[in-house]
């Protein structure tokens, strides 16, 4: 029995991609976090930071060949990584569900929406026929799809982007999962629709008491939705804190850089933008120091030598030799 009784407890998760004739890629490198019921957790990072892979590993959706997964993922008294595939199939969709990024490609184009919803109900709750259809219509209604009964018979290409994402959310929440993972749920949508979908997620999670793991690169979304935030860089968590703390006082230079790079409405006109210098490809392997070092203005000698350890304190976890100070300006 896990001591603290967290709903989802990820410990030292690692994912390595192996390819014949090429070097191994450590997409996820010793990531740990916990999520509790009713909590919304944000996992922030750029493309390539490993945030999506983390969620796929938790769900057991990574390919079997060419992938090595290590660590532990505790849920409901089990380590998901050691479960047989059939058990994992039972858990997926029912206890832990996921919503993906691109609603058009995430839906089967030749099957009506109704069936794509009822198949989850049929699978996990043995619902069939009319009962399943009614439940599906209710779900669609719950996520804000107008005229749900007609929609059940329609195909994905007949729906708008926002509606498709709502349908996907309906499918994910059909069996009232205790954990919902949303991987960039709004990235592929229009900005106006984004806000609606996020509101919807907030509402649904609040009502059901589920835990939400929100994966995104957009800090704005995190600010509006999440309780706690983990910032990932190149496969490791570099900073974790509660939302307010993180935004008010970022300590890791990367977090500071992310926050500082967002243009502000109240900045004087003509003020320079502050991107993080370099690109995600300017990497240093963690084994040789800090992966962010090539781009970091706060770089000191230890950064180029040894992996910084994740240090926990009451209000945050931080992996840095030379963090930003409380009074320091966001780096220019």
Partner 1 sequence: MLRFVARRLLLLGPILLGLSVLLFVWLRALPGGPASALLGERATPEAVARIEELYGLNEPWYVQYWKFLVNAVQLDFGNSSRTNRPVVEEMLRTFPATIELGTTALIFAIGIGIPLGYFAARRYGTWLDNLSVSGSLIGVAIPVFFLAYILKYVFAVRLGWLPTGGRQDPRMDAEHPTGFYVFDGIITGDLEAILDALVHLILPAVALGAIPLAIIVRIARASVLDVVHEDYVRTAEAKGLYERTITRRHVLRNALLPVATVIGLSAGLLLSGAVLTETVFAWPGVGFFVAEAIGNRDYAVLQGFILMIAFLYVLVNLAVDVSYGLIDPRVRVQCALPRSRRPPRLRRSARRAAASARTPGSGCAAIRWRSSASG
Sites of contact with partner 1 (CB under 8 A): 59, 61, 88-94, 97-98, 100, 102, 104-111, 115, 119-120, 123-124, 155, 157, 168, 171-172
End-to-end CA separation in angstroms for the chain: 48
Cα-to-chain-centroid distance, residue 49: 11
The residue behind tokens 């192996």 is: 18
Distance CA 144, CA 170 (A): 9
Min. distance of Cβ 77 from partner 1 in angstroms?
A: 19
Distance CA 263, CA 32 (A): 31
Min. distance of Cβ 142 from partner 1 in angstroms?
A: 18
Take residue 250 and report the two structure tokens written for it.
Answer: 């970022």
C-beta of residue 41 within 8 angstroms of C-beta of residue 52: no
C-beta of residue 201 within 8 angstroms of C-beta of residue 144: no
Min. distance of Cβ 185 from partner 1 in angstroms?
A: 13
Closest CB to partner 1 among 117 and 291? 117
Min. distance of Cβ 325 from partner 1 in angstroms?
A: 43
Closest CB to partner 1 among 156 and 289? 156
Min. distance of Cβ 326 from partner 1 in angstroms?
A: 42
C-beta of residue 219 within 8 angstroms of C-beta of residue 258: yes
Closest CB to partner 1 among 17 and 155? 155
Min. distance of Cβ 106 from partner 1 in angstroms?
A: 5
Residue 77: closest CA among 176, 3, 173, 11 = 3
Reported residue count of the chain is 332
326: helix, strand or coil: coil
C-beta of residue 174 within 8 angstroms of C-beta of residue 119: no
Min. distance of Cβ 86 from partner 1 in angstroms?
A: 9
Closest CB to partner 1 among 102 and 306? 102
Q: Is the dihedral of CA 117, 118, 124, 130 positive or negative?
A: positive
73: helix, strand or coil: strand
Closest CB to partner 1 among 78 and 102? 102
- Cβ count within 10 A of residue 93: 20
Closest CB to partner 1 among 93 and 148? 93
Min. distance of Cβ 90 from partner 1 in angstroms?
A: 6
Take residue 134 and report the two structure tokens written for it.
Answer: 């009614």
Closest CB to partner 1 among 115 and 195? 115
The residue behind tokens 């926990």 is: 312
Min. distance of Cβ 91 from partner 1 in angstroms?
A: 7
The residue behind tokens 């990024």 is: 101
Closest CB to partner 1 among 41 and 120? 120
Q: Is the dihedral of CA 321, 327, 246, 299 positive or negative?
A: negative
Closest CB to partner 1 among 54 and 298? 54
Distance CA 268, CA 235 (A): 36
């Amino acid at each position: 029995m896990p001591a603290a009784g967290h709903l989802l407890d990820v410990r030292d998760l690692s994912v390595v991609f192996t390819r014949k004739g090429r070097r191994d890629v450590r997409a996820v490198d010793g990531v740990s976090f916990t999520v509790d019921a009713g909590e919304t957790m944000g996992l922030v990072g750029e493309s390539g930071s490993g945030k999506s892979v983390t969620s796929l590993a938790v769900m057991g959706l990574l390919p079997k060949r060419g992938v090595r997964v290590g660590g532990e993922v505790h849920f409901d008294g089990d380590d998901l990584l050691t479960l047989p595939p059939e058990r994992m199939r039972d858990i997926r969709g029912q206890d832990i569900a996921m919503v993906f990024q691109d609603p058009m490609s995430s839906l089967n184009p030749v099957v009506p929406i109704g069936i794509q919803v009822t198949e989850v109900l049929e699978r996990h709750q043995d619902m069939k026929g009319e009962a399943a259809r009614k439940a599906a219509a209710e779900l669609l209604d719950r996520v804000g799809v107008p005229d749900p009964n007609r929609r059940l018979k329609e195909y994905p290409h007949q729906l708008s982007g926002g509606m498709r994402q709502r349908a996907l959310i309906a499918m994910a929440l059909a069996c009232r999962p205790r954990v919902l993972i949303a991987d960039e749920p709004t990235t592929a949508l229009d900005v106006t629709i984004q806000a609606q979908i996020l509101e919807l997620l907030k509402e649904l999670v609040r009502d059901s008491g589920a835990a939400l793991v929100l994966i995104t690169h957009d800090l704005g979304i995190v600010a509006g939705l999440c309780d706690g935030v983990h910032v990932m860089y190149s496969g490791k968590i570099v900073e974790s804190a509660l939302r307010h703390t993180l935004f008010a006082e970022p300590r890791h230079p990367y977090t500071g850089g992310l926050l500082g790079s967002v243009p502000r409405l109240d900045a004087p006109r003509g003020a320079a933008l502050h991107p993080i210098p370099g690109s995600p490809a300017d990497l240093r392997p963690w084994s040789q120091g800090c992966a962010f070092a090539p781009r970091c203005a706060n770089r000191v000698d230890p950064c180029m030598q040894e992996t910084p350890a994740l240090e926990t304190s009451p209000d945050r976890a931080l992996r840095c030799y030379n963090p930003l100070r409380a009074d320091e300006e966001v780096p220019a």
